[in-house]
Structure 1
Amino acid sequence: MRLIPLLKDSYYFFKRRFFLILWISLVTYIFYNTYMFYFNGRQFYYIRRILGLGLCISRGTASVINLCCALVLLPLCKKLNQVLYRILSKLWPNLFFFWLERAKSFHMTVAVTLVMFALVHSVSHFVNLWNFSRSYDERMKEINFAKYKNESPFFLLLSQPGLTGVSMLIIILLMGMTSMRVVRRNIYNAFWYTHQLYMLFIALLIVHPLSGVLKEEILDDVESSPITSHEEGWSNSSSIDTHKFISIRSKTWTWMAFPLGCFLIDLVWRISSRNRARVHILEVTHMPGRTLSLTLSCPHSQFMCRMGQYILLQCLDISLLEWHPFTVVKVPTSNSRNFVVWVRVKGDWTEHLERLLLENGANRLSFLVDGAFSSPMEGAAADEVALCVAAGVGITPFVSLLHHMLLKPRTKLPGRIHLLWIVRTEEEITWLADLANDTILQLRDANRPDRLHIEFYVTGTKGNDIKAFKGKEECSATHMVVINEKGKITHALSNNEKSMTDDEKASLLTPNRRRHACTDDEKRNNLNHMKYYEIAKEYPLLGCRLKRGRPHWDRVFGYWVHLYPHKRLNLYCCGTKKLVKSLKNKCKYITSNTKTKITIVHERFS
């Protein structure tokens, strides 16, 4: 009986890690195949005699690096992915959205592999430089990289392949270290600017192997045929004078031609389109939670944007290089040729933008727009039942769905939406309050009230604020009264006892001295003057949908399973990494233990 759960766990583990296992297998095969080719190749006998296994390791890792450099560019081709969306969204939408969802993780997996093999490749070449100097071949001087025996490896490192290799290693290490989550969160500019070195890295990658340091022997058809002789037999099979060598041909171009061509086409396309896509700020709204709502003009009449898509914005007054992604919360229509984005002020770029808006005003600022680009969240607009979970500013991909329902309450798709929004304070709900309230009323008038099921979860309660305020008031208390076991009254001085004079300490024992810095009436007045926003007073329809605390996911998923038995559902989540991980575990549990299958489609915060 215990074997069945174990087999289930193993099945779901391999199913979840299938693509990672497939990637590791592909990388291992390419490395092993190249390694054995140089290990057994007769044409590499003389160069292998000098370098040893360093030749095989360096060439095997070079093949993996070429593969990674080719594949790491594909997720960055945003315009071409947009074209694929228009083609595949009707033919096979699930495949395309799966690629969009996995594009970021695929890029990171390839990048981590690239950094690891770049380190091994560099170490193997450092060893090769030492072997070139130590194992100088007096008989076959043509294949030597050193000019004489025991030449300093440092001078060999100053050559063209050495300098380009070290430069590439420095660039890839900088890109790898600044890609760490801690660095991205705290020093995003370091991550951004180091990643602008990728074009220099690609140029160095192409130039690096052109020096022809490694050489192979030219063999005729008889000599190149498979034989079983030992290497010593190979070396004595012909005269030294008949040996001819050529540089090992670089295969980097064969790996990079197609992806680099796609990337350059995409880059030129984006540059040419975004340079004429200048927009102006029509309206700025400061929302609670230090969030800005920017209403922008459309860059041109051909600008198209779908629900859930995002754009890249560049403010020339802040930076000429930085482009930042923002989800379009209100897409342009035929009646209203403008769109809206929400900007959460968090980081130096958004703080600079907020300061410029306050100092110079919105009329003096202009933006360049790149996009719109496809997102995994687009699938919610095409599902009959869409389960949507958002945290904080992660609500932005789903706002356009509410706008669509408000304007077209009787459309077939999206069918029914279950939207859960987790916020810290009730004031943040005002971002969506007017739109959600109007949408609910519009759906009721259209006799489609069951089309939208929305719930708000407020994790921070006003009770905590009251306790905090009381704590600040009561911290001014100088002592508290305590009754001991004998019934006598004693007192305990506060932490400020050391800073009090003897007269002040004595005055604490007098009955006429108040024990608190302010009277009870003053406290009551202070608490009454404190304002706490309650969404239910202004929006009764939303107040009944508000809950305190975090969602009880067992109940939420149980409700969905009861409501949609034997269904295949998609859960769209935009929030923190912890939230996504929790929902992934719940979806896995529901899928393995019930007849309802739930697939999570997520878009994490950066």
Structure 2
Amino acid sequence: MGNCFINHGFTFFMLGVWMAINIFLFVWFYFFYDLGDQFFYTRHLLGSALAWARAPAAVLNFNCLLILLPVCRNLLSLIRGSFVCCSRTMRKQLDKNLSFHKLVAYMIALMTAVHVIAHLLNVEWYNNSRLGVYDKLSTALSNLEDTDNTTYLNPIRKIDVHPQQIPTFLVFTTIAGLTGVIITLALILIITSSMEVIRRSYFEVFWYTHHLFIIFFAGLVFHGAGRIVRSQQTTDPPHNFTFCKDRSDDWGRIPQCPVPQFAGGFPQTWMWVIGPMILYICERLLRFIRYLQTVRYRKIVMRPSKVLELQLEKNGFKMEVGQYVFLNCPAISQLEWHPFTMTSAPEEDFFSVHIRSAGDWTNKLIEIMQQLPEGTPGPKMGVDGPFGTASEDVFDYEVSMLVGAGIGVTPFASILKSIWYKFKDSDPKLRTKKIYFYWLCRETHAFEWFADLLQVLEKEMEERGMGDFLTYKLYLTGWDQSHATHVMVNFDKDTDVVTGLKQKTNYGRPNWDKEFTQIRNENPTSVVGTFLCGPVVLGKVLAEKCNKYSLNFPGKTIFYFNKENF
């Protein structure tokens, strides 16, 4: 029986800790405001909505502290490098940074909704108290004179003193109200533009809208400065609410009941977010410095299936297998950066990326490159990176299972090239003993630009008597009747009609149960690293199979699942 804790145990633990902190903060601050004596009079005006507004605010502070950290990719690469020799499990968690970023965003959205609804109720109840709709005490608290403009309780002031302070005026002119509206609108735009359908089809809309986080955090820092939630202050003599709450007519007239004094709490949100904001500013400065560094073109090649290969050079650039870079082309956009996995090997003196036509930015880049006159250098290119990914750990396993879908083969191109160089140089540090490689494509042309590398590897392994080191299987998932007929006619040839390789192309999709069973039988006591660069749906299938076919006791095969995330 498979054991999901092999692949997800530490993830469950980390999520449990995160959720426990969220629950603790919510409960702690809920009861702090719901039971605290200093908020007795405030609760009398607002009821439980006070606690329902403040508890989510505490959770928001914690999650706004976290939300920027998973996208500080240079920081994550630094941390990932520090764990390279000691903790595979921790590195796997760092590879899930974007999933955690989304999870924190969902929590921020939920807590914002609760916080906003509670404060809308608070504004309504403040206004009703000012109008005398409720009891005598509520009216007295709302009518407190305030010569210094600091000791009032109800922010919606007395009509005869401040006739303009209706609820709408409070929401759109006070610091707390105006920043709250700005923050909420920014958050709604950020979240809605992050939906999968928008991000996949209109990446530029997602990219630009996502940068409203700058406005979001600016508003967040100043939001608490309005000090809209007020608590009772200590006076001399003290105002005992237990004795004085039913004697509002005597406030200030008898020594036992001086006029109660109120003040807003010290703003705390900025203390939660200032650290991550500084880290993120440093992150962006580093990206800008890298943008200014010169990038030279070594070769520009148009591959089949509208795939552009760029071979680039940059001073001091060092990479590992499976890593990725962000590219910026000012001729298209000064601001947009897009991630691409490198297809070159660390042993080469250049780095390369393969870019598939998949949106406005990539289409424009390919169009620019196709229109370049012969011998003309390409447009200015900014490069940020390299950054570590799950595929970087492929050589940490004795057995590796690589699964690529379409252009998702790119990290494995880097890996297989590096293997070729390691064999060529007889690298004694190569720990990997066996590699299974699966590539799924919709059309035959997609195989063409990668088949030559597989042919070289195939020949190299045979010459060294290591034909069993690399087992690769190519799957064509889409074909027509004419293609099927052509394959049948040439079926008896030694090489595949599609790729020219000795390994024949398979048609349809892999039977993963059969593949995992075969790998487990061939490697009965091994730890197998399963790596995917492809769609989420395929990732769910492979993760399930890794759990199903792992036997979590000594001397049995264990599959560790790793997925590329951008």
SS at match of 2:123: helix
Change (3 A) 1:52 1:436: same
Shift of 1:62: 0.7
- Residue of structure 2 aligned with 1:132, choices 115, 126, 134: 126
- Are 1:67 and 2:62 an aligned pair? yes
Distance 1:565 1:231 in 2: 79
Candidates 185, 188, 197, aligned match of 1:170: 185
The more displaced of 227-236 and 166-175 is: 227-236
C-alpha separation in 2, matches of 1:72 and 1:145: 32
Structure 2: segments with no counterpart, 5+ residues: 131-141, 147-151
1:86 is aligned with what amino acid?
A: G
Q: What's the offset of the Cα at 1:332?
A: 5.0
SS of residue in 2 equivalent to 1:329: coil
Cα distance in 2 for residues equivalent to 1:351 and 1:306: 28
Q: Kindly tell me: are residues 250 and 348 of structure 1, through their superposed partners in 2, closer, same or farther at Cα, counting changes over 3 Å?
A: same
Q: Is 1:603–2:564 an aligned residue pair?
A: yes
Pick the aligned partner of 1:415 from 412, 418, 433.
433
Q: Taking structure 1 as reference, are residues 191 and 153 closer, same or farther at Cα in structure 2, changes over 3 Å only?
A: same
Q: What is the aligned counterpart of 1:248 among 249, 256, 265?
A: 265
For 1:271 and 1:303, the matched residues in 2 are separated by 16
Q: 2:471 aligns with which of 450, 453, 459?
A: 453
**Equivalent in 105, 108, 120 of residue 114 of structure 2:** 120
Change in CA separation of 1:183 and 1:230 when aligned onto 2, cut-off 3 Å:
farther
Residue 242 of structure 1 and its aligned partner are, at CA, apart by: 5.8
**CA distance in structure 2 between the partners assigned to 1:222 and 1:382 by the alignment:** 72
C-alpha distance in 2 between matches for 1:231 and 1:121: 31
| Residue of structure 2 in register with 1:548 after alignment | 507
Q: Larger deviation: 343-352 or 441-450?
A: 441-450
SS in 1 for 2:381: strand
Alignment of 1:206-245 (within 5 A): 206-219=221-234, 232=245, 239-241=256-258, 243-245=260-262
Asked whether the equivalents of residues 318 and 353 of structure 1 are also in contact (C-alpha less than 8 Å), the reply is yes
How far, CA to CA, are the matches of 2:8 and 2:238 in structure 1?
A: 50
What is the deviation of 1:413? 3.3
1:82 aligns with 2:41: no
Provide the secondary structure at the position in 1 that maps to 2:99: helix
> How far did 1:205 drift?
0.3
CA drift of 1:73 comes to 0.7
Please give the per-residue CA displacement for 1:178-197, whole angstroms capped at 9, x wherever unaligned.
11111111111111001111
| 1:174-193 matches, cutoff 5 A | 174-193=189-208
**Is 2:518 aligned against 1:559?**
yes
Distance 1:459 1:238, change over 3 A: farther
Aligned AA (2:366): E
Aligned to 1:245, the other structure's residue is in SS state strand
In the aligned structure 1, how far is the partner of 2:441 from the partner of 2:296? 30
Alignment match of 2:99 (pick from 102, 105, 110): 105
Name the residue aligned to 2:153.
143
| Structure 1 CA distance for aligned equivalents of residues 346 and 85 of structure 2 | 22
Greater fraction of residues in helix = 1
How many angstroms apart in 2 are the aligned matches of 1:110 and 1:577? Answer: 20
Q: Tell me if the contact between 2:3 and 2:552 (Cα under 8 Å) persists in the aligned partners.
A: no
Task: Tell me what 1:46 maps to.
Answer: 41
> Could you tell me whether the CA contact under 8 Å between 1:387 and 1:569 is conserved in 2?
yes
The match for 2:305 among 273, 282, 289 is 289
1:147 Cα deviation (Å)?
2.1
Deviation at 1:148, TM superposition (A): 1.7
Asked if the contact 2:237–2:256 (Cα under 8 Å) also holds between the matched residues in 1, the reply is no
Over 3 Å counting, the alpha-carbon distance change for 1:347 and 1:238 in structure 2 is farther
Contact residue 35 and residue 59 of structure 1 kept, 8 A: yes
Check 1:547–1:215 CA distance in 2 against 1; reply closer, same or farther (3 A cut).
Answer: same
Alignment of 1:526-605 (within 5 A): 536=496, 540=500, 542-591=501-550, 595-603=556-564
Name which of structure 1's ranges 587-596 and 161-170 shifts more when overlaid on structure 2.
587-596
The residue number in structure 2 matching 1:531 is none
Matches within 5 A, 1:368-447: 368-409=382-423, 410-411=426-427, 412-447=430-465
What's the CA shift for 1:401?
1.1
How far apart are residue 221 of structure 1 and its match? 12
State how far apart, in whole Å, the 2-side matches of 1:174 and 1:121 are.
Answer: 18
Match of 1:320 in 2: 334
Judging changes above 3 Å, is the alpha-carbon distance between structure 1 residues 538 and 395 closer, same or farther for their aligned structure 2 residues? closer
Letter in 2 for 1:147: R
Whichever residue aligns with residue 376 of structure 1, its letter is A
Question: Distance in 2 between the 1:12 and 1:293 partners?
Answer: 35
Equivalent residue letter for 2:469: R
1:239–1:464: structure 2 CA closer, same or farther, 3 Å change rule? Answer: farther
CA offsets per residue over residues 131-176 of structure 1, 9 Å max, x none?
2222131236512211225952111112222111111101101110
The unaligned stretches of length 5 or more in structure 1 are: 470-527, 529-533
Q: Which amino acid aligns with 2:209?
A: T
Rounded to whole Å, the distance in 1 between the matches of 2:35 and 2:215 is 35
Listed one character per residue, the Cα deviations across residues 524-547 of structure 1 (whole Å, up to 9, x for unaligned) are xxxx9xxxxx9725865x242422
Hey, what's the Cα distance between the residues in 1 that align with 2:247 and 2:406?
70
Amino acid in structure 1 at the alignment position of 2:448: T
> Is 1:358 paired with 2:358?
no
Asked if structure 1 preserves the Cα contact closer than 8 Å seen for 2:420 and 2:457, the reply is yes
> For the structure 1 residues 121 and 340, does the alpha-carbon distance in structure 2 shift closer, same or farther, using more than 3 Å as the test?
same
CA RMSD of aligned residues (A): 3.3
Is the CA contact (8 Å cut-off) linking 2:3 and 2:547 kept in structure 1? no
> Which structure has the greater CA radius of gyration?
1
1:285–1:292 contact (8 Å) kept in structure 2: yes
Relative to structure 1, the CA distance from residue 223 to residue 383 in structure 2 (aligned partners, 3 Å threshold; closer, same or farther) is farther
Partner of 1:263: 280
Q: Which amino acid aligns with 2:269?
A: T
2: CA distance, partners of 1:279 / 1:12: 39
Deviation at 1:20, TM superposition (A): 4.2
Asked if 2 retains the 8 angstrom alpha-carbon contact of 1:437 and 1:539, the reply is no
Taking structure 2 as the reference length, the TM-score comes to: 0.85
**Maintained 8 Å contact 2:7/2:561:** no
Relative to structure 1, the CA distance from residue 379 to residue 303 in structure 2 (aligned partners, 3 Å threshold; closer, same or farther) is same
Which is further off, 99-108 or 550-559?
99-108
> How many angstroms does 1:32 deviate by?
1.4
Aligned-pair CA distance for 1:8: 8.2
Structure 1 Cα separation of the partners of residues 237 and 317 of structure 2 = 64
| Cα separation, 1, equivalents of 2:48 and 2:463 | 77
- Whole-angstrom distance in 1 between the partners of 2:98 and 2:52: 29
Give secondary structure in 1 for the equivalent of 2:266: coil
The whole-number CA distance in structure 2 between the counterparts of 1:291 and 1:155 is 56
Is the partner of 2:144 in helix, strand or coil?
coil
- Return the alpha-carbon distance in structure 2 between the equivalents of residues 269 and 220 of structure 1: 52
1:284 partner letter: I
TM-score by length of 1: 0.80
SS at match of 1:413: coil
Question: Alpha-carbon deviations, 1:468-517, whole Å to 9, x = none?
Answer: x9xxxxxxxxxxxxxxxxxxxxxxxxxxxxxxxxxxxxxxxxxxxxxxxx
Structure 1 position 427, deviation (Å): 2.5
- When structure 1 is superposed on structure 2, of 317-326 and 81-90 the one drifting more is 81-90
Number of aligned pairs?
528
**Structure 1 residues 572 and 231, CA gap change in structure 2 (3 angstroms):** farther
Alignment check: 8 A CA contact 2:402 2:435 kept: yes
Looking at structure 1, the residues matched to 227 and 499 of structure 2 have their Cα atoms a distance apart, in angstroms, of: 74
Tell me the distance in 1 between the aligned counterparts of 2:124 and 2:107: 26
CA distance in 2, matches of 1:535, 1:55: 74
